[in-house]
Structure 1
Amino acid sequence: MSCPFNHQAAAQKEQEQEQEQQPQTTTPNVDIENFQGAPIPQPPEKWLIGNLGEIDPLFAVGSLWKLADVYGPIYTLNLVKRKVIVLSNWELINEVCDEKRFEKIVKGVQESVRVFVKNGLFTSYGDEEEWGIAHRTLVPAFGPLHVRKMFPQMMDIMSQMILRWDRFGPNHRIDCAEDFTRLAFDVIGLTAFNYRFNAFYTEDMIPFAKQLAEVLVEAGKRANQTDIQNALTFLSKKHMMDNIHSMWKVCDDIVAERKANPRPDVDDILNVMLNAVDPVTGKGFTDENIRYQMATFLVAGHDTSAGTMAFVFYNLLQHPEALQKCYAEVDAVLGDKPLEVEDIPKLKYLDAAMKETLRFLGPIPVISRHAKETTIIGGKYKVTPDDVLSFNLKGLHHDPKVWGEDCDEFKPERLLNGGWERLPPNCWKPFGTGVRSCIGRYLAEQEIIICMAMVFQRFVVEMANPEYNLKIKSTLTIKPDHLEIKVRRRPGKDHLFAFGNVAPAPIKAATNGVKSNGDLDKSNLKPLAVFYGGNSGTCKSFGEDLQTDAPHHGLDVPLKVQSLDDAVENVPKDRPVVIITSSYEGQPPDNARNFVAWLETRAADPANSGLLKGVRYSVFGAGNKDWATTYHRIPKLVDDLMEKLGATRLYAAGYVDVSQDIVGPFEDWKLGLFPKLREASGVTAAVKTGEISVKISQPEAPSKLAGEEVTDGTVLSNKIIAQKGVGPEKRQIDVLLPAGVEYRSGDYLVIQPFNPRETVLRVLNRFGLHPDDLVTVSGTSKEHLKSYSGGPISVFELISTRVELANPASQRQISTLAALSTGADVERLQALATDELYAKEVLLKRFSTLDLLEDFPSCSLPFGAYLDMLAPLAPRQYSISSSPLAQQPGVPSQQLGQTVEQSKATSIVATLTYDVHEAPSLSHPNTATFRGVASSHLSSLVPGSKLRCFVRKTHAPFHLPADPKTPVIMVAAGTGIAPMRAFLQERAAIAQARGKDSLGPAVFYFGCRDFEQDYLYKDQLAEWEKQGVVKVRTAFSKKPKPGGHKGHVDELIWEDREELKGLFKDGARILVCGSAARLGKSTAETCLKIYEEEHPELGREGAEKWLTKMKEDRYVSDIFG
């Protein structure tokens, strides 16, 4: 798990939120020198030894836990050599996590272990030069991309353990501490030094591991003894030093062998230390410091990982329901195939079980800090820089104010479904805190998840002794003592099951997996960095477009287009940086949240004004103008904060409204960007032209290639709920989700659509292609155009599933078409490319490139150039219109060995309520029909069809309030009823279980066109109103019910404003779903009018400020363009 003593904070993985925000703490405005402060509780001292008698030298942390139970969340100990203040709750620890006021201190056991690891990373003092050199050079080497490349080596070692367990048979008792130590030791040896300890090939533990264990035990003892006691144990010290010299020799021999036989092809930590030069000091690692860093990695890289894995298996074996959920998830994600690195993020329950283990009782029990200057904590306790402030992590991780009244229960579920994201900062600290937090977090988490997945895929695990009671073994860390398990092969898993190719893969310098751009020589190209943030794929596609074009301008993107979160504390200064990002309801995209938070945090401190000095950048933003108040908020924020932190803007930011011309503004911006990038990089070579290459061949036999890596849902039903007439046809589709897939009301189902068949055939006909033709795409970095297997892909699949066909052509694309046309077509196309005609004839009428190619047959655009013009086909997102709380299992599972929870998981159903978009084409209204890409695909599905989909959690608070008694005001129109139906199903289920008195008032404003034709779910709404679940208010814009209201819902809201004011004053949450341009705007405007009427003195400006504030959590909209 890497070092138990801190270092650089590792950023969160793809779907995790690292809670490293700095607490806003200040020292009270008092005369600190004369301030006495409140007394800190302390056990009575004894002569000469102070409070040392309170500490068990063999289990010191157990003593700290007991003292916390007696003395509370803060107490102090006089340990003769040092004064220790122990903190055991979140409030105090959160304050001391403030990096401005506090920092790591090396005392106690950490200082004692310096006898072995000296000035290695986790025991070096903050002012030692060696720490800075190691910090700057080694942190990137343990970053997520580097750790990802360690996957083959980890699988190699993991497979050795699996085979060992399998060959010993089902009656063999496995000592978890021993075998997980072997595993972790071999993993760090192979991944960091390309060295094999071969721990699984010896009967006894390897000498290095034995010696290390003895040294850590002795160092722990000596840290909690007086100098006199230590002097009397000179024989123990001699034995410890003999062990240390023996281990140093192993490290020195590894270095000597590498120097004698250099391995430039190996991308490991040892090569970094031998070859890296610190950019600040210009120095490298000395041989002596390399020895100490190696010792550090071997200590930190094995002990905590081994302990965590042992605790994981103990906890799961004590909680069979959680264990079965692990099995179910592994079966759902892996099935019978070998584990691949891409599978790791999908194992969400395993990840939660690991994190909950680290909370419940992890291997690191204490971390220590001290104040940079005398200060006050908790508003009344005075602490000085000499005081060691020790975090009792068990107290922190079991604080009921953070973790709830069930904090002493092992529940991985608490960290799922938004639980992790809702945690307050600094409440989960198994990897330390601040700049000295654990450098190896990525390595640890990947190693542990791999171990869990491979064991659960192959074996049934059980306690060797069902009566075992947890015993703790304490050295530098803690772990279960004498925990033994047995494993037996699961049915159908032979001795080589799911190993795939586990032979040691050659360790080579990393490649980015992007094919070369044609035949361009990249040896003289200047580097460029491209980062993106986005959920839909549009921004990534823009980045890949830049990567493809860069070599023609003398530039290269040596790393693939990376997410913005990869740039946290790692914004390059040696090359220009291009950032392409969108907003998500005014918030950062999923893969840019850490980056934006990092910028905001750093920019809040004026001392960081030069943090990004030397960075040269430009920003491009994507957004939808229908979200007027948050339009381009994130790209503008990033642009401003980068400059505020000292970065130099190379080129003015560009922006695109994705509801209009999605390509043109980017192309225009790119045209001005490249000259600035060339100038900044010193490129003088002439600009070259290039084009995408597409090779077409005939297949031996038609074959289907894998689509998007999403799960397969099964359609149970697909019915019309409102006929086409006053509006589009409306349907309800019920989808059976795969086992283990969960959602809650307010979440989305994201589907992978298919372009309408007739549109695809139009493309093939225009270019003279057969549907079964195979294409091989090269000369581009656009991943969506390539086969997943690396070979050819059928042209029909490529056009059906990979590219957007209906987007309006851009002005630049039209100019390209004109240049490739002849006769009268040239002049007509050039006219369409002018600003006036383009807006009126192309954008307004949604003329696609395909439409133009058909209208101007003289154009000789190559197929490859056409593909290069098309944006990737983005997944479509639909609000789920059902609640899992309200449904009975749809398809009960009859598989043997399943728990009730597993059976329910296999049968959970998600319902979608959607419009089928079909209307005369705007470009050719008399001859062509426009069909929505996603809705036409959904409407074509019949029961039994497979649907590529996945659940996306809503990040906004678009859910019912946690307390059912909190009032709710819901507003929707048309199929915007989808999430409201889910909410009402949930309220109905709660009322049925607890009684209707358990619900607070709810009113639902629903807009339709015609009472008789498109009043969706009329009977259900009437029944829920009868049950007291909701009060329904309907507005019909064309034909109301007899005596009903004709108009729109905003008019009803205004009419009911006095009632709604009362609900809102009682804490009501407003939930809105519908068109951003219509319902979203009209509802917001009505709320502003109501507030202005109530507070006339504040005017419109005051009302808008109020609504902006309410949109943080009490006025929540899910609106679409």
Structure 2
Amino acid sequence: MSAPDAARTRARRLPPGPPARRAPALLASMARDRLTVMTSAALRYGDAVRLPLGPKTLFFFNHPDHAKRVLADNAANYHKGIGLVHARRALGDGLLTSEGELWRTQRKVIQPVFQPRRINRQTGVIAEEAAKLVARLRARAGTGPVDIREEMTGLTLGILGRTLLDADLGAYESIGESFEVVQDQAIFEMMSLSAVPSWLPLPQQRKFRRARADLERITAALAAERAANPGEDGDDVLSRLIEATAAEPDEAVRRQRMRDELVTLLLAGHETTASTLSWTFTELDQHPLVWQKVHDEVVSVLGDRQPTPEDLHRLTYTSMVLEEVMRLHPPVWILPRKAQQEDEIGGFHVPAGAEVLICPYTLHRHPEFWEAPDRFDPERFAPDRAGGRHRYSYIPFGAGPRYCVGSSLGLLEATVVIAAVVRELKLAKAPGHVVRPEPMLTLRVQGGLPMTVHPVD
């Protein structure tokens, strides 16, 4: 073989992986336990794995250099991939699923809402909502378990309504349930590759259509209310979307764009933070010494008063705990992409049209970059230990041009809520309850999180 032929052979080398005959069993395993499939594949085959799934073959890359290539260095070549493309049937063309010029336009409209100065102004609003949460939980002390996942979901929806929309979402009692149904449908579309026609009168499809209609009703009501009562600054999401779509002559198109944007923003925005908070209180319950350190820091920094933006920089250990929670339980657990043109990653050929996966859940456990990767250890984010770590070994909010636009608000919100709760309460998992992860659009706690509430003396 000539040198050029040998070079071409090396360049066309495909990653290792299970044989194609394993596709049916692998597909069933993915539907049943996606996290175990991804973890086992990385352990068995290494940092680059080829996973045959019936009509699709997935290229799973699990090294920080690979993540950098796909998400940043050659991001233009990698559009949204398997799962998110299919979820578009449920979510529409919002910021999470759109591409190209539409995505750039949407990002330009939304980005100013998340500027640091505006986000910092929301600290007081978040602290107010966190105080209401603490009061609700305190009232439940001694009355039996409280579903903390449900509480966090309601809390984060309420905060998002006030901080991004300048609206009270509590007036729409069905919104949480409708979001739940839409997310379930999005996952169904992802796992079935949209093979089930949406018009079939299946119970799940009918339930989804009712939920989608409910969310359309809610978003239309929110938009109508804002149009009738413009905000003082006009810098909330509703005001900006109304302005951005005003030139669209087709009312149906304008209404659809508004729905897609609001549903995507609210679903992704509240679900990620609610999941992170649920996992945080789970880890604090399992690690009482960590809880004590957070409690002591919050009392030392804040005393009895509400936090200011300046205080948050002084809650250093609390921030380390939050970072470690997002390492073990990344809110965005997988990042699917599709190669537009052929590429080479880590010495392996990636064909044009290939479905590519970057998985923060496994990347955050890579033993080359994380000592005792399965151990909960907030100290690993102390400055003297975090220095020199590969930038792309930790990507809880993604990376590159599509880095999560709401990450700063999510971090602020989670820090304020953790401080408010831990200062006054201890939450303990209900006896006998087993906490399991559920990899949906976010990595949430499966089936709720029953915990008992204990006031701090």
TM-score of the superposed pair, with normalisation by structure 1: 0.38
Which position in structure 2 is the counterpart of 1:1034?
Answer: none
1:317-363 alpha-carbon deviations (Å, 9 max, x no partner): 11122111101111110122222232111111111101111111223
Higher Rg: 1
Tell me how far 1:316 sits from its aligned partner.
Answer: 1.6
The CA distance in 1 between the partners of 2:69 and 2:31, in whole Å, is 30
Which position in structure 2 is the counterpart of 1:196?
Answer: 168
1:474-503 alpha-carbon deviations (Å, 9 max, x no partner): 432222233222222223xxxxxxxxxxxx
Tell me how far 1:143 sits from its aligned partner.
Answer: 1.7
Out of 357, 373, 389, the residue aligned to residue 390 of structure 1 is 357
Task: Check if 1:470 corresponds to 2:442.
Answer: no
Out of 209, 233, 256, the residue aligned to residue 288 of structure 1 is 256
Which position in structure 2 is the counterpart of 1:42?
Answer: 17
Task: Check if 1:409 corresponds to 2:375.
Answer: yes
The CA distance in 2 between the partners of 1:363 and 1:331, in whole Å, is 28
Which position in structure 1 is the counterpart of 2:249?
Answer: none
The CA distance in 2 between the partners of 1:151 and 1:197, in whole Å, is 19
Which position in structure 2 is the counterpart of 1:90?
Answer: 64
Out of 383, 396, 404, the residue aligned to residue 438 of structure 1 is 404
Which position in structure 1 is the counterpart of 2:270?
Answer: 302
Q: Secondary structure at the match of 1:382?
A: strand
AA at the equivalent of 1:469: V
Tell me how far 1:211 sits from its aligned partner.
Answer: 1.8
1:792-850 alpha-carbon deviations (Å, 9 max, x no partner): xxxxxxxxxxxxxxxxxxxxxxxxxxxxxxxxxxxxxxxxxxxxxxxxxxxxxxxxxxx
1:729-768 alpha-carbon deviations (Å, 9 max, x no partner): xxxxxxxxxxxxxxxxxxxxxxxxxxxxxxxxxxxxxxxx
Tell me how far 1:212 sits from its aligned partner.
Answer: 1.6
Tell me how far 1:451 sits from its aligned partner.
Answer: 0.5
AA at the equivalent of 1:105: H
Q: Secondary structure at the match of 2:81?
A: coil
Which position in structure 2 is the counterpart of 1:116?
Answer: 90
> Which structure would you say has the larger RCO, counting Cα contacts within 8 Å and 6 or more residues apart?
2
Tell me how far 1:441 sits from its aligned partner.
Answer: 0.4
AA at the equivalent of 1:163: A
Listed as ranges, the matches of 1:110-149 within 5 Å are 110-125=84-99, 127=100, 129-149=101-121
Q: Secondary structure at the match of 1:84?
A: strand
Classify 1:246/1:383 alpha carbon distance in 2 versus 1 (closer, same or farther; 3 Å): same
Out of 166, 172, 185, the residue aligned to residue 138 of structure 2 is 166
Q: Secondary structure at the match of 1:324?
A: helix
Tell me how far 1:103 sits from its aligned partner.
Answer: 4.6
Out of 466, 487, 492, the residue aligned to residue 453 of structure 2 is 487
The CA distance in 1 between the partners of 2:220 and 2:52, in whole Å, is 40
Q: Secondary structure at the match of 1:470?
A: coil
Q: Which moved more, 1:129-138 or 1:98-107?
A: 98-107
Tell me how far 1:314 sits from its aligned partner.
Answer: 0.9
The CA distance in 2 between the partners of 1:228 and 1:182, in whole Å, is 33
For structure 2, list consecutive stretches of 5 or more residues without a partner in the other structure: 247-252
Q: Secondary structure at the match of 2:349?
A: strand
CA contact (8 A) 1:85 1:388 kept: yes
Q: Secondary structure at the match of 1:487?
A: strand
Which position in structure 2 is the counterpart of 1:184?
Answer: 156
Out of 218, 221, 241, the residue aligned to residue 185 of structure 2 is 218
Task: Check if 1:63 corresponds to 2:37.
Answer: yes
Which position in structure 2 is the counterpart of 1:74?
Answer: 48
Q: Secondary structure at the match of 2:391?
A: coil
The CA distance in 2 between the partners of 1:452 and 1:30, in whole Å, is 59
CA contact (8 A) 1:121 1:293 kept: yes
Classify 1:228/1:289 alpha carbon distance in 2 versus 1 (closer, same or farther; 3 Å): closer
The CA distance in 1 between the partners of 2:284 and 2:269, in whole Å, is 23
Tell me how far 1:427 sits from its aligned partner.
Answer: 1.0
Listed as ranges, the matches of 1:657-1056 within 5 Å are none
Tell me how far 1:312 sits from its aligned partner.
Answer: 0.8
CA contact (8 A) 1:305 1:444 kept: yes
The CA distance in 2 between the partners of 1:31 and 1:113, in whole Å, is 41
Q: Secondary structure at the match of 2:223?
A: helix
The CA distance in 1 between the partners of 2:25 and 2:76, in whole Å, is 25
The CA distance in 2 between the partners of 1:133 and 1:454, in whole Å, is 37
User: Size of the alignment, in residue pairs?
Assistant: 447
1:985-1011 alpha-carbon deviations (Å, 9 max, x no partner): xxxxxxxxxxxxxxxxxxxxxxxxxxx
The CA distance in 2 between the partners of 1:229 and 1:262, in whole Å, is 42
Q: Which has the higher helix share?
A: 2
Classify 1:145/1:51 alpha carbon distance in 2 versus 1 (closer, same or farther; 3 Å): farther
1:3-31 alpha-carbon deviations (Å, 9 max, x no partner): xxxxxxxxxxxxxxxxxxxxxxxxxx999
CA contact (8 A) 1:104 1:436 kept: no
The CA distance in 2 between the partners of 1:31 and 1:243, in whole Å, is 56
AA at the equivalent of 1:425: R
1:159-202 alpha-carbon deviations (Å, 9 max, x no partner): 22111112222343121211100111111111111221228xx9
Classify 1:347/1:30 alpha carbon distance in 2 versus 1 (closer, same or farther; 3 Å): farther
1:133-169 alpha-carbon deviations (Å, 9 max, x no partner): 1222321221211111122222232222111112222
What is the aligned-residue RMSD (CA, Å)?
Answer: 2.8
AA at the equivalent of 1:412: P
1:564-620 alpha-carbon deviations (Å, 9 max, x no partner): xxxxxxxxxxxxxxxxxxxxxxxxxxxxxxxxxxxxxxxxxxxxxxxxxxxxxxxxx
Which position in structure 2 is the counterpart of 1:248?
Answer: 216
Tell me how far 1:116 sits from its aligned partner.
Answer: 3.4
Which position in structure 1 is the counterpart of 2:294?
Answer: 326
The CA distance in 1 between the partners of 2:7 and 2:259, in whole Å, is 44
Classify 1:388/1:30 alpha carbon distance in 2 versus 1 (closer, same or farther; 3 Å): farther
1:536-556 alpha-carbon deviations (Å, 9 max, x no partner): xxxxxxxxxxxxxxxxxxxxx
1:667-724 alpha-carbon deviations (Å, 9 max, x no partner): xxxxxxxxxxxxxxxxxxxxxxxxxxxxxxxxxxxxxxxxxxxxxxxxxxxxxxxxxx
Q: Secondary structure at the match of 1:485?
A: strand
Classify 1:222/1:239 alpha carbon distance in 2 versus 1 (closer, same or farther; 3 Å): same
Classify 1:489/1:231 alpha carbon distance in 2 versus 1 (closer, same or farther; 3 Å): closer
The CA distance in 2 between the partners of 1:262 and 1:30, in whole Å, is 66
Which position in structure 2 is the counterpart of 1:643?
Answer: none
CA contact (8 A) 1:459 1:489 kept: yes
Classify 1:433/1:51 alpha carbon distance in 2 versus 1 (closer, same or farther; 3 Å): farther
Tell me how far 1:234 sits from its aligned partner.
Answer: 4.4
Q: Secondary structure at the match of 2:392?
A: coil
AA at the equivalent of 1:177: R
Which position in structure 2 is the counterpart of 1:271?
Answer: 239
For structure 1, list consecutive stretches of 5 or more residues without a partner in the other structure: 1-28, 279-284, 492-1121
Listed as ranges, the matches of 1:371-386 within 5 Å are 371-379=339-347, 381-386=348-353
Tell me how far 1:36 sits from its aligned partner.
Answer: 5.9
1:842-868 alpha-carbon deviations (Å, 9 max, x no partner): xxxxxxxxxxxxxxxxxxxxxxxxxxx
Classify 1:108/1:238 alpha carbon distance in 2 versus 1 (closer, same or farther; 3 Å): farther
Which position in structure 2 is the counterpart of 1:399?
Answer: 366
Q: Secondary structure at the match of 1:426?
A: helix
Classify 1:32/1:157 alpha carbon distance in 2 versus 1 (closer, same or farther; 3 Å): farther
The CA distance in 2 between the partners of 1:376 and 1:226, in whole Å, is 26
Q: Secondary structure at the match of 1:486?
A: strand
Out of 34, 59, 74, the residue aligned to residue 100 of structure 1 is 74
Listed as ranges, the matches of 1:490-639 within 5 Å are 490-491=456-457
